[in-house]
Amino acid sequence: MALIEDTLRKPTDPLQEGLELRMYSMRMCPYAQRARLILAAKGVKYNCINIDLNNKPDWFFDINPYGEVPVVIHNGSNVYESLICAEYLEEAFSTPTLYSSEPVKRAWEKIYFNHWTKKGIPAFYSLLKAGHLDPELTNRLNEHVSTMDQYLKKADTPYFHGNTPGFSDYMIWPWFERIPMMGEITGYKTDETKYPTITAWVARMWKDPVVQECKIDSRLFVEHYGKYRTGRPDFTIGADAKRAPVAEALENLDGLRDPKTRFKQT
Cα–Cα distance measured from residue 262 to residue 256, given in angstroms and rounded to the nearest whole number: 10
The answer to whether 62 touches 236, Cβ cutoff 8 Å, is: no
Phi–psi pair at 228, nearest 5 degrees: -55, -40
Phi–psi pair at 106, nearest 5 degrees: -65, -40
Q: Is the peptide bond before 96 cis (omega within 30 degrees of 0)?
A: yes
One-character DSSP codes across 126-159? HHHHH-S--HHHHHHHHHHHHHHHHHHHHHTSSS
Q: CB-based burial of residue 78 (10 Å sphere; 0-12 exposed, 13-18 middle, 19+ buried)?
A: middle
The answer to whether 195 touches 146, Cβ cutoff 8 Å, is: yes
**Bridge partners, 72 (sequence order):** 23, 79
The residues annotated with a catalytic role in the active site are: 29
One-character DSSP codes across 41-110? HHT--EEEEEP-TTS--HHHHHH-TT--S-EEEETTEEEESHHHHHHHHHHHS-SS--S-SSHHHHHHHH
Nearest Cα to 216, choosing from 20, 7, 36, 54?
36
Cα–Cα distance measured from residue 185 to residue 168, given in angstroms and rounded to the nearest whole number: 27
